[in-house]
């Protein structure tokens, strides 16, 4: 009996809770989000992960909604492409407003093509107070917000937020930003790339120690390569410390092709692949990613999350992947 009680206590102590909080009556979109998490690996495989939907009121939630911007979109579209995802993401996660107090915007930015306007925010004092208290009460690792709004959009950073008019896959994308993962689509202007890709960009770290911008995240490394490499060992010795997923690359996987750094494109193979995320930056840095496949960090039309990402996601949520 004592052994059974001890086993139950250990099991409970390792449980982790994810909240999906919404001000939508009947919580239709929030239930859709919760179902997607429950059926998408690695979340579906996490040990003792509990996903709970909580319905509240707009007054209690206290999220601020900004005025419509030129980038606001309604969900009358049948599909989601990379550009739509890029334009819909509100860049709360880089704290652009806080950065502006420290430094001016890059020279590549003008008044017209500056940072994408904030669509929705749950960083208000009231929202933070409410959600933090809710997390303490429910003993939850994270709280994802699904805000009632007729526009298509989201925000990331300290807290993942999507609107009720956005696809459920966006909630996973934004939560992964919060847990230390960067975008894998190409920033479409020099202004945006210069904001999110320069060396030394201030960036909050996730519980796993990674940030959510290229070069600080788990999934996008940033380093300049040599003109040629003699072997896989040469690549590992030269850049191993700059590649967070290096331990997930098989010793049999090629890291050099014809003397040039890079793994030959292969579906499902963790390696070292050129990323295009920062290619339009004025001071271009080479960026690299773990897989050649499209993942949910590039497109919302897939729920693919490579296995190399799983331990970092589980660690950030305070749990592990079940055997």
Residues 155 and 261 in one domain: no
**Mean pLDDT, rounded, for 195-214:** 83
Closest CA to 157 of 199, 114, 97, 107: 97
Q: Is residue 44 helix, strand or coil?
A: helix
Q: What is the DSSP letter of 116?
A: P
Residues 54 and 161 in one domain: yes
Would you state the structure tokens that stand for residue 6, as one six-digit string?
A: 């001890």
CA distances, 269 to each of 138, 156, 166, 260 (Å) = 38, 28, 31, 18
Burial of 21 (0-12, 13-18, 19+ CB in 10 A): buried
Residues 165 and 252 in one domain: no
What confidence score (pLDDT) does residue 94 get? 44
Residues 240 and 105 in one domain: no
Predicted confidence band of residue 129 (pLDDT cuts 50, 70, 90): very high
The string of pLDDT tens digits covering residues 225-237 is 999 999 999 999 9
Residues 244 and 176 in one domain: no
**Mean pLDDT, rounded, for 257-284:** 92
Contact 30, 22 (CB under 8 A): yes
Predicted confidence band of residue 106 (pLDDT cuts 50, 70, 90): confident
Exposure of 104 in the CB half-sphere (CA atoms within 13 A): 6
Q: For the ranges 105-119, 124-138, 266-280, which has the lowest average pLDDT?
A: 105-119
Residues 253 and 127 in one domain: no
Cα separation, 177 vs 172, whole angstroms: 9
* The residue to which tokens 């509990």 are assigned: 50
Higher pLDDT, 50 or 79: 50
CB atoms within 10 A of CB 229: 22
Dihedrals phi, psi of 71, to nearest 5 degrees? -95, -5
Predicted confidence band of residue 27 (pLDDT cuts 50, 70, 90): very high
Total domains present in the chain: 2
Predicted confidence band of residue 109 (pLDDT cuts 50, 70, 90): confident
Contact 168, 24 (CB under 8 A): no
Residues 111 and 227 in one domain: no
pTM of the model: 0.86
Dihedrals phi, psi of 28, to nearest 5 degrees? -60, -50
Radius of gyration over every alpha carbon of the chain, rounded to an integer in angstroms = 20
Higher pLDDT, 152 or 256: 256
Predicted confidence band of residue 121 (pLDDT cuts 50, 70, 90): low
Residues 25 and 150 in one domain: yes
Per the domain annotation, does 169 fall within a domain?
yes
Residues 106 and 177 in one domain: yes
**Mean pLDDT, rounded, for 267-274:** 94
What confidence score (pLDDT) does residue 5 get? 39
Residues 132 and 227 in one domain: no
**Mean pLDDT, rounded, for 85-95:** 55
Look up the domain containing 271 and give its range. 220-276
What confidence score (pLDDT) does residue 158 get? 80
Per the domain annotation, does 190 fall within a domain?
no
Predicted confidence band of residue 107 (pLDDT cuts 50, 70, 90): confident
Q: What is the DSSP string of 158-197?
A: SS-EEETTS-THHHHHHHHHHTT----SPP-SHHHHHHHS
Q: Cis before residue 55, ω within 30 degrees of 0? A: no
* The residue to which tokens 């998408």 are assigned: 40
The string of pLDDT tens digits covering residues 60-76 is 999 875 444 333 333 33
Residues 65 and 22 in one domain: yes
């Amino acid at each position: 009996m004592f052994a059974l009680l001890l086993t139950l206590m250990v099991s409970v102590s390792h449980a982790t809770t994810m909240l999906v909080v919404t001000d939508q009556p009947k919580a239709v979109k929030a239930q859709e989000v919760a179902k997607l998490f429950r059926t998408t690996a690695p979340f579906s495989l996490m040990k003792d992960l509990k996903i709970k939907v909580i319905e509240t009121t707009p007054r209690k939630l206290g999220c601020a909604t900004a005025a419509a911007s030129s980038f606001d979109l309604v969900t009358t579209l049948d599909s989601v492409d990379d550009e739509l995802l890029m334009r819909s993401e509100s860049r709360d996660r880089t704290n652009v407003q806080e950065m502006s107090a420290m430094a001016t915007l890059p020279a590549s930015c003008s008044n017209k093509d500056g940072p994408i306007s904030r669509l929705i925010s749950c960083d208000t004092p009231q929202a933070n107070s409410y959600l933090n208290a809710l997390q303490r009460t429910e003993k939850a690792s994270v709280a994802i917000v699904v805000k009632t709004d007729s526009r298509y959009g989201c925000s990331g950073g300290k807290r993942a937020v999507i609107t009720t008019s956005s696809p459920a896959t966006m909630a996973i994308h934004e939560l992964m930003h919060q847990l230390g993962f960067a975008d894998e689509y190409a920033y479409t202007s020099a202004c945006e790339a210069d904001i999110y890709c320069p060396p030394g960009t201030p960036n909050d770290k996730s519980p796993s120690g990674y940030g959510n911008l290229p070069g600080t995240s788990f999934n996008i490394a940033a380093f300049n390569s040599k003109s040629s490499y003699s072997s896989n060992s040469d690549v590992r010795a030269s850049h191993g410390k700059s590649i967070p997923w290096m331990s997930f690359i098989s010793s049999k996987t090629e890291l050099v092709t014809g003397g040039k750094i890079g793994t030959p494109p292969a579906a499902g193979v963790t390696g070292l692949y050129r990323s295009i995320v920062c290619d339009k930056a004025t001071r271009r840095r080479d960026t690299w990613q773990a897989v050649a496949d499209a993942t949910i960090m590039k497109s919302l039309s897939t729920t693919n999350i490579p296995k190399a990402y799983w331990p970092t996601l589980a660690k950030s949520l305070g749990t592990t992947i079940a055997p």
